[in-house]
Chains A and B, each alone.
Chain A
């Protein structure tokens, strides 16, 4: 059974939609900047923020300013809206089908909880925000805005959440539990996880440098991105006058079971995730043209992932880049953001470059893509998302 990606939607530091995102890659324009929207005492840090206030997003969505909301849900609503449009679906068709929303998020409405925590304790003025701490409430807010979903689920496996949402959605299609799946993730930057990553001392105060020998850590990012998945049969039945955007060939979720936060130095988890994904997709390593790496820019991840890539591909390493050098690490949304970026790469025959790279890592036999690479023939792309706790997921998308 073939699973098609028939729609995509994305909002991140490098654009409010798919077109702007592609343009940012073509112009090599990073979205990582000094903090502008988040209120925090760590003003020195660089982040990849979505360049809109909540008020602006509400206006765009037609939501009244007085409606309580959380940033993660607003970004999610925008990306889902774009995905539905790009699939040439309408709410009526979706409502009449078994349409499923699977959202990957971890911080949920923590942005408002951290703002109003003192109010929760001292008074009753902000009680409507208490439930919004839930990741599930965030997904429901996205679903309720669109009013066309019969099943809604939330997956939280830290930085691989959205990738697992896509994996889970594809499986629901294969097992006839859904007709149309909207899967991905959404996550805004909060003080909570900015301080969390800061306490783990894995934030680079300069723009992040994935796969660079001098890398000092990650820059946090935010965003939302969703794909629409349908079976070939369902898509053909809709009689849409266009080709699907890509095929989802397969993926894998494995657990490294090594450490609560760190990856193993020999990259066992990453190796296994990519290897099993290839097997599930019926592909050989040599079939892969581009690896959209997890590439956070931390000492630990890039070494572990790099070694895993080397183990799997030997001396025949395909294009590798980490687009976190553009978007920052969008944490739970990263699997969705990078799945959409991988599909945009396939569609536009471009390989996003790995910016800020200067110094090769002595441990690795390959360099990431450092120059603009356009008009390349891409057939199969693998996208990696690795989370805390060794939650490692790889997804493979292919040209149709």
Chain B
């Protein structure tokens, strides 16, 4: 699990161009949207692309991603259970 979390953080940094951040700066339990990392609706769409590209998981809408994208941990759990690559 820790491996996925670290890899996922690196992927998020790359996909969202958070160039001033390192994986250690991201609290895997903190919310990704709103108060935590402060991501927005466009980032949600980018995360959907990330899920498909890196893990072969297709989400149909940002709504479907709401719970999955709550935190890095929730994303990692979903990836672990559903990844196709």
A-side residues, CB < 8 A to B, are 199-201, 260-262
Let me know if A261 and B42 touch, CB within 8 A. yes
Let me know if B49 and A201 touch, CB within 8 A. no
Chain A proximity of B59: nearest CB distance (Å): 9
Majority secondary structure, A binding face: loop
CB nearest to B64 among chain A residues: A201
Let me know if B41 and A199 touch, CB within 8 A. no
Q: Give the contacts of B27-64 with A (CB-CB under 8 A).
A: 41-42, 45, 48-49, 61-62
Chain B proximity of A134: nearest CB distance (Å): 27
Residues on B with beta carbons closer than 8 Å to the beta carbon of A261: 42
The distance in angstroms between the C-alpha atoms of A200 and B40, with both chains bound, is 13
Chain B proximity of A27: nearest CB distance (Å): 34
Residues on B with beta carbons closer than 8 Å to the beta carbon of A201: 45, 48, 61-62
Chain B proximity of A213: nearest CB distance (Å): 15
B-side residues, CB < 8 A to A, are 41-42, 45, 48-49, 61-62
Chain B proximity of A389: nearest CB distance (Å): 13
Residues on A with beta carbons closer than 8 Å to the beta carbon of B48: 201
Chain B proximity of A248: nearest CB distance (Å): 36
The distance in angstroms between the C-alpha atoms of A260 and B43, with both chains bound, is 13
CB nearest to A200 among chain B residues: B45
CB nearest to A205 among chain B residues: B60
Given contacts A201-B48, A262-B41, 8 further A-B pairs with CB under 8 A are A199-B45, A199-B49, A200-B45, A201-B45, A201-B61, A201-B62, A260-B42, A261-B42
The distance in angstroms between the C-alpha atoms of A261 and B44, with both chains bound, is 14
Residues on A with beta carbons closer than 8 Å to the beta carbon of B42: 260-261
The distance in angstroms between the C-alpha atoms of A261 and B62, with both chains bound, is 15
The distance in angstroms between the C-alpha atoms of A262 and B45, with both chains bound, is 13
CB nearest to B40 among chain A residues: A259
| 8 pairs of residues in contact across A and B, judged by CB atoms under 8 Å | A199-B45, A199-B49, A201-B45, A201-B48, A201-B61, A201-B62, A260-B42, A261-B42
Chain B proximity of A166: nearest CB distance (Å): 31
The distance in angstroms between the C-alpha atoms of A260 and B41, with both chains bound, is 11
The distance in angstroms between the C-alpha atoms of A247 and B61, with both chains bound, is 44
The distance in angstroms between the C-alpha atoms of A200 and B42, with both chains bound, is 8
The distance in angstroms between the C-alpha atoms of A201 and B61, with both chains bound, is 7
The distance in angstroms between the C-alpha atoms of A201 and B45, with both chains bound, is 8
CB nearest to A217 among chain B residues: B61
Residues on B with beta carbons closer than 8 Å to the beta carbon of A199: 45, 49
CB nearest to A262 among chain B residues: B41
Chain A proximity of B44: nearest CB distance (Å): 9
The distance in angstroms between the C-alpha atoms of A201 and B41, with both chains bound, is 11
Residues on A with beta carbons closer than 8 Å to the beta carbon of B61: 201
The distance in angstroms between the C-alpha atoms of A261 and B45, with both chains bound, is 13
Residues on B with beta carbons closer than 8 Å to the beta carbon of A260: 42
Chain B proximity of A218: nearest CB distance (Å): 14
Chain B proximity of A354: nearest CB distance (Å): 24
CB nearest to B41 among chain A residues: A262
The distance in angstroms between the C-alpha atoms of A262 and B43, with both chains bound, is 13
Of the candidates B42, B48, B62, the one having the most CB atoms from chain A within 10 angstroms of its own CB is B42
The distance in angstroms between the C-alpha atoms of A261 and B49, with both chains bound, is 18
Chain B proximity of A350: nearest CB distance (Å): 36
Residues on A with beta carbons closer than 8 Å to the beta carbon of B49: 199
The distance in angstroms between the C-alpha atoms of A200 and B49, with both chains bound, is 11
The distance in angstroms between the C-alpha atoms of A57 and B61, with both chains bound, is 38
The distance in angstroms between the C-alpha atoms of A297 and B45, with both chains bound, is 19
Residues on B with beta carbons closer than 8 Å to the beta carbon of A200: 45
CB nearest to A216 among chain B residues: B61
CB nearest to A261 among chain B residues: B42
The distance in angstroms between the C-alpha atoms of A200 and B61, with both chains bound, is 9
The distance in angstroms between the C-alpha atoms of A200 and B62, with both chains bound, is 10
The distance in angstroms between the C-alpha atoms of A398 and B38, with both chains bound, is 47
The distance in angstroms between the C-alpha atoms of A200 and B48, with both chains bound, is 10
The distance in angstroms between the C-alpha atoms of A200 and B45, with both chains bound, is 7
Residues on B with beta carbons closer than 8 Å to the beta carbon of A262: 41
Residues on A with beta carbons closer than 8 Å to the beta carbon of B45: 199-201
